[in-house]
Amino acid sequence: MTGDLLPPAVVPVALVEAKAFLRLDDPSEDALIAGFIRSATALAEAFTGQRLIVRDCLDGILPVRTWQRLAAAPVVAITNVVAGGASLPGTAFETDIDLAGNGWVRLVAPDPTSRPQVTYHAGLAADWNGVPEPVRQGIVRLVSHFHAHRDAPDAGGGRRPPSLHCGARGGGCAWAGSRVMDEFVGALREIVGIDQWTPATGGADQSSPATGGVGGWTDAGVAWAALVPVDLTLIADVGERRIGRPRYRLTLRLPTTAAVTSRFRWRGRILAILRAEPDPRQRDRLTFLVEDRT
């Protein structure tokens, strides 16, 4: 969960700027326009995946030892972790902010009965003057759309206005477009279980489940992951294509206990690791090619 506030004083578009675009001088509609600005800002943030103005945020996290990603971005500072109604000491948790502005928290010795919460600051700019101009223009145009159709909710025919597309994904605002394009393949939003193979006492040839070795799987915890389905038609080996088992690229945050001898549990499925695929562009993550063996 994540919760934050967007006070009127820190919206990314000033009331006077929106009124100038609408060619309005009458102050009787100020409250209406201010509400449109807040609604348009919320849509822009949902579309780009970023908070535009820096503000306080609160996330609930799982009481586990693995790294967990905070919901809001870009993170400016992680200020506190609270569990059981009290602030945890600095030695009880670790924090990190990666190059993409994602905030991460890891509990050192979590209490499984607690409900930890993280407070932090997230936002792209300190005030509305710092928000990129294409995004501000997109918000103003969306406010104009709301104002034009305020008396006819279905006048737009159910179509989304183009203001966010041209304002947030245009060539003048590459930071928003690249983040949205990367959201599906890079966001760690799924919880997967990690199992480690524990060999029984025996020879070296019995140490791997792939060779039918003697041993068993042990629970090694859970982690946040991103899963992207693999198009089986792109597999070169005809025999592998005929098997038809679903495959995914599964990405984890580093460090992780997962290795090529591990397996994953996800939504009642067993995912076997075929190989690791390190990505030099994301040194804080590790990707595995996995196959559904349920």
For 199-211, the pLDDT digits (tens) are 776 544 444 555 4
CB burial string 19-49: b at 16+ within 10 A, e below? beebeeeeeeeeeebeebbeebbebbbebbb
Task: Provide mean pLDDT across the span 250-259.
Answer: 85
pLDDT > 90: percent of the chain: 18
Strand ranges across the sheet with 93-97:
68-69, 103-107, 93-97
Task: Provide mean pLDDT across the span 94-115.
Answer: 88
**And the tokens for 248?**
């995914």
Residue 80 has what pLDDT? 94
Other residues' Cβ atoms within 10 Å of the Cβ of residue 1: 8
Interatomic CA distance for residues 206 and 293, integer angstroms = 21
DSSP β-ladder status, 269-277 and 285-292: antiparallel
**And the tokens for 193?**
């279980």
Interatomic CA distance for residues 72 and 11, integer angstroms = 17
Is it true that domain 190-292 has CATH number 2.40.10.270?
A: yes
Which sequence spans correspond to the domains of the chain?
2-52+125-186, 55-122, 190-292
Tell me the pLDDT band of 271, cut-offs 50, 70 and 90. very high
Residue 206 has what pLDDT? 43
Residue 177 has pLDDT above 50, yes or no: no
Rounded to a whole number, what is the distance in angstroms from the first to the last CA of the chain?
30
**And the tokens for 142?**
């969306």
What pLDDT, in 10s, does the model give residues 212-230? 556 789 988 888 888 888 8
Average pLDDT over the chain reads: 77
pTM for the whole thing?
A: 0.51
